Structure 1
Amino acid sequence: MTASDPSDQVRVFDTTLRDGEQSPGCSMTPAQKRVFARALAELGVDVIETGFAASSLADMEACRAIAQDLRETTLCSLARCSDGDIDAAARALEHAARPRIHVFISTSPLHREHKLQLSREQVLERAVRGVERARGLVDDVEFSAEDALRTEEDFLVEIFSAAIAAGAGTINVPDTVGVATPGEMRGLFERLRARVAGAERVVFSAHCHNDLGLAVANSLAAIEGGARQVEVAVNGIGERAGNCALEELAMALRTRAAWYGVGTGIRTGRLLATSRLLTRLTGMGVQRNKAIVGANAFAHEAGIHQHGMLRHRGTYEIMRPEDVGWPATRMVLGRHSGRAAVADRLRALGYVLEDDALNDVFARFKALCETQRLVEDADLQRLVEGEDAAGAGWRIAALSVADGRRRAHAQVVLSDPLGGVVTETAEGDGPVAALFAAMARATGIALTLESYQVHSIGIGADARGEASLSVAHEGVEYTGTGTSRDIIEASALAWLDVANRVARKEGGAGMGNRESGPGTRPGPARPAPAVAC
């Protein structure tokens, strides 16, 4: 154990509903906050910062509602060191079983001069007065020195000592702008715990931002220095580049338990479900290669890695996917996959092939990978049965989208290998919504959109748009991609990528089963609008 405090437990202070919600585009309604607070309690979070009660009526309402729901979790409201903020926080938490008021004031020279226009002495006086007022209203008070990492260390010692004397039980050291390095963070906590008067009576806390991509590393370093509370957010959301990611911190402490010698009360099997709930509530997805909860976190495509995984999962995985909520490791079949991985997947599908037959399937698998990014089970089955997987399924004959002032309109003309042609139109709140609605009508396949993104591939005249989406169909999740110089067409191709796999899985349902007739024959196709990538 490298951390110097004998305590073997780290408090998890979740600020998703306060600092996390401040992330642009991540605001939540009081009802949504209430739902997510329950999920955080089920996850095993020790302290939930429910909001900044004085900032808005919505935050006040959310704090009050959550306080009525949760009786075992400490609930916290943020407040500046001002009477109005502190009193608002107390009102918001008046029905909480375990209330905490979290008071803060800026301490760095830069903030003192340009933000507060106060001297050191005035900042110290306000801090003490704020802690004392909060302590008179609740038993549990946390004090934060905003921009602590750019504050003179002797002033931190002075103001923290005074806050403890005034009644603070938790001392938070925020790296507000994410400027610290792990070595600096560990050293600062070690020195503060040695120099601050009354340090033995309080819990030291770290609040790290991710501006340099070091929020988790700095939080772990703070634990090494003696911090026993860490402030985090699910998916790492928060101001600018975000906060220390809850899921990454929890799994780092669990996976490297022999090194850190401390743990958390987090029920890690719920990490993925909690992450996805937040995505649904805010609309902010996580990148595919995000640690722990990203779609690729436990997926392997490279042949060398797949070969190692087939022999022993420990070769390329340091955690079990089941421990964070994933059902299993995914062997993704694509152009980097090798013969061993394809053979293993074929065996799982019930195909045991002789070497010559396997070589033939593998050759056609490689050819398919040149036109299709991922190869699914249905594709493998068609390869084994000698069919041309690349040519099957619905195809775009024409499409057009018009974005009106209030509603968008889309028309799609689709054909399939059996000669059927169908034309459908639909409306939606935007061009993509209208497009997907028309595609669903044309194919008879309903897909529930979970996430949708468009990226640019290449530069200049060679640039293309790549659309990627995640959808659900009858409880099964799928991802699809499409590439085109026109992002509307790329979006349609991504949608069809999934729809065709669903249709093949269902034995061809929705393919070629419509009769051509009046209303189904395409008229002159209007070109899709050119959209810059």
Structure 2
Amino acid sequence: MKKWNVEICDVTLRDGEQTPGVSFSHEEKCSIADILDEIGVDVIEAGFPIVSHNEAGCVRDLSHMGLDARICCLSRALKTDLDCAIGCDVDMVSIFIATSDLHMRIKYKKPREEVLEKALSMVEYAHDHGIQVRFAAEDASRTNIAFLREMYLRGAECGADYVSYADTVGCLTPLEMAGIIDALRIDLPIPLCIHCHDDMGCAVANTITAAERGAYQLHTTVNGIGERAGNASLEEVACALRFKGGVDRYDLSHLLKLSKVVSEASGIPVPKIKSIVGEHAFAHESGIHIAALIEDSSTYEYIHPNLVGGERHYLLGKHTGKKAIAHILQSMGHDLGEEQIIWILDQVKARGEHKCCITHDILLQLIHQAELEVIA
């Protein structure tokens, strides 16, 4: 396996906080940043300092936490924004302009050449102040490729350390992304970043495709939170890097803990069937599956739950089999006979048909009944 050359920039504290209704406290931002650093995330985008005095203070404090991760912040191509960012002592500033004809017409009402020239002067300004510069194209996925190439090449000439491509409205598919990355990387002298939104459910797939095609910095959010349908989720991207890209330097064992912290701080629950961190990500009900899992967990688990800080769970319902029941009863310390096990299994299936959840207490009741009634 050829190892992908990548780094992760997690944008939970900036783009994730732009999720409608989400606002992280200072303490929550610090806690999230700490766990991101434990995982080994390379860059943490801490916020958008010009938004408010409090936002600038949070970004500055994160810059002074002594983390191994580099701290980045967002900035428009305006001197006021950049002075605010520079005052926060960040390692990197992401200077963005909207690049599609649609955005140029609606937001700037100026020719794109004029917008680009002003932005390039701000790239030079930030570079001259000794911080890393990421020159970012908003709505890049609806922008002429030739203009993007001009923007990126001229940005590099003006001192940009990275250039960034944002699928701002999440309109791309992986095949489209592959072709775009191939086109943009021709003769590009600096690393390319990729920032994907999930409007069509392709954010993670597009991010991983971009990585495989040579994009270097991958943008993620914890639990995939973000504007509208969200961003590429950190946990899914990180696991794909481990298993498909040969990137093993991230400590994935903190992913579940981080997911819970962000879910609580954001007020956005994680769906039970969410990959990697959902409550049912490593839960099994099917009797056929559980029978095989008892022998070898790799039969129905591509990712081992311990790797990401999770646990395997066997659930009981109408699909449960006798071997699963016997295994669960034994693990609970109950040594029951064949007839008792079959009786409990029949009860579980009957209740499962009526959408009854077999809780721990219900199972204990069934065990007690089996010990009394079946023996009698």
Q: What TM-score do the two structures reach when normalised by structure 1? A: 0.67
More strand by share: 1
SS state at 2:74 partner = strand
Given candidates 208, 214, 234, the residue that maps to 1:226 is 214
Which blocks of at least 5 consecutive residues in structure 2 are unaligned? none
AA in 2 matched with 1:237: I
Given candidates 268, 272, 281, the residue that maps to 1:297 is 281
Q: Which residue of 2 aligns with 1:374?
A: 357
AA in 1 matched with 2:63: A
SS state at 2:135 partner = strand
Moved more, 366-375 or 331-340: 366-375
Residues 85-484 of structure 1: pairs in structure 2 closer than 5 A: 85-93=81-89, 96=90, 99-195=91-187, 199-200=188-189, 202-256=190-244, 260=245, 262-263=246-247, 265-326=249-310, 328-370=311-353, 373-386=356-369
Moved more, 220-229 or 332-341: 332-341
More helix by share: 2
Instruction: After TM superposition, give the deviation of residue 331 of structure 1 in Å.
Output: 0.5
Q: Which residue of 2 aligns with 1:68?
A: 64
Tell me how far apart the structure 1 counterparts of residues 99 and 344 of structure 2 sit (CA, whole Å).
Answer: 67
Tell me how far apart the structure 2 counterparts of residues 387 and 223 of structure 1 sit (CA, whole Å).
Answer: 55
Greater radius of gyration (CA): 1
AA in 1 matched with 2:243: T
Residues 446-478 of structure 1, C-alpha deviations (whole Å, 9 max, x = no match): xxxxxxxxxxxxxxxxxxxxxxxxxxxxxxxxx
Instruction: After TM superposition, give the deviation of residue 370 of structure 1 in Å.
Output: 4.9
- Report if the CA contact (8 A) 1:182-1:217 is conserved: yes
- Report if the CA contact (8 A) 1:48-1:75 is conserved: yes
Residues 341-386 of structure 1, C-alpha deviations (whole Å, 9 max, x = no match): 1111112223333322322222233334356633244433332322
Moved more, 332-341 or 173-182: 332-341
AA in 1 matched with 2:48: F
Aligned length: 372
Tell me how far apart the structure 2 counterparts of residues 372 and 181 of structure 1 sit (CA, whole Å).
Answer: 37
Tell me how far apart the structure 2 counterparts of residues 193 and 264 of structure 1 sit (CA, whole Å).
Answer: 25
Q: What TM-score do the two structures reach when normalised by structure 2? A: 0.94
SS state at 2:263 partner = helix
Tell me how far apart the structure 1 counterparts of residues 336 and 28 of structure 2 sit (CA, whole Å).
Answer: 52
Tell me how far apart the structure 1 counterparts of residues 344 and 164 of structure 2 sit (CA, whole Å).
Answer: 60
Tell me how far apart the structure 1 counterparts of residues 289 and 179 of structure 2 sit (CA, whole Å).
Answer: 38
Q: Give me the identity figure in percent.
A: 38
Residues 429-460 of structure 1, C-alpha deviations (whole Å, 9 max, x = no match): xxxxxxxxxxxxxxxxxxxxxxxxxxxxxxxx
Instruction: After TM superposition, give the deviation of residue 387 of structure 1 in Å.
Output: 6.9
Shift of the 12–355 alpha-carbon distance from structure 1 to 2, 3 Å rule, reads same
Which blocks of at least 5 consecutive residues in structure 1 are unaligned? 390-533
- Report if the CA contact (8 A) 1:288-1:296 is conserved: yes
Instruction: After TM superposition, give the deviation of residue 306 of structure 1 in Å.
Output: 1.9
- Report if the CA contact (8 A) 2:174-2:209 is conserved: yes
AA in 1 matched with 2:75: A
Residues 106-125 of structure 1, C-alpha deviations (whole Å, 9 max, x = no match): 11111111111121211220
- Report if the CA contact (8 A) 2:10-2:221 is conserved: yes
Tell me how far apart the structure 1 counterparts of residues 361 and 106 of structure 2 sit (CA, whole Å).
Answer: 63
SS state at 2:24 partner = coil
Instruction: After TM superposition, give the deviation of residue 265 of structure 1 in Å.
Output: 3.4
Moved more, 337-346 or 236-245: 337-346
SS state at 1:103 partner = strand
- What's the C-alpha RMSD, in Å, of the aligned pairs? 1.9
Q: Which has the higher contact order (CA 8 A, sep 6+)?
A: 2
Instruction: After TM superposition, give the deviation of residue 8 of structure 1 in Å.
Output: 4.1
- Report if the CA contact (8 A) 1:178-1:211 is conserved: yes
Instruction: After TM superposition, give the deviation of residue 210 of structure 1 in Å.
Output: 0.3
Tell me how far apart the structure 1 counterparts of residues 98 and 69 of structure 2 sit (CA, whole Å).
Answer: 28
Q: Which residue of 2 aligns with 1:11?
A: 7
Q: Which residue of 2 aligns with 1:501?
A: none
Tell me how far apart the structure 2 counterparts of residues 126 and 141 of structure 1 sit (CA, whole Å).
Answer: 15
- Report if the CA contact (8 A) 2:14-2:47 is conserved: yes
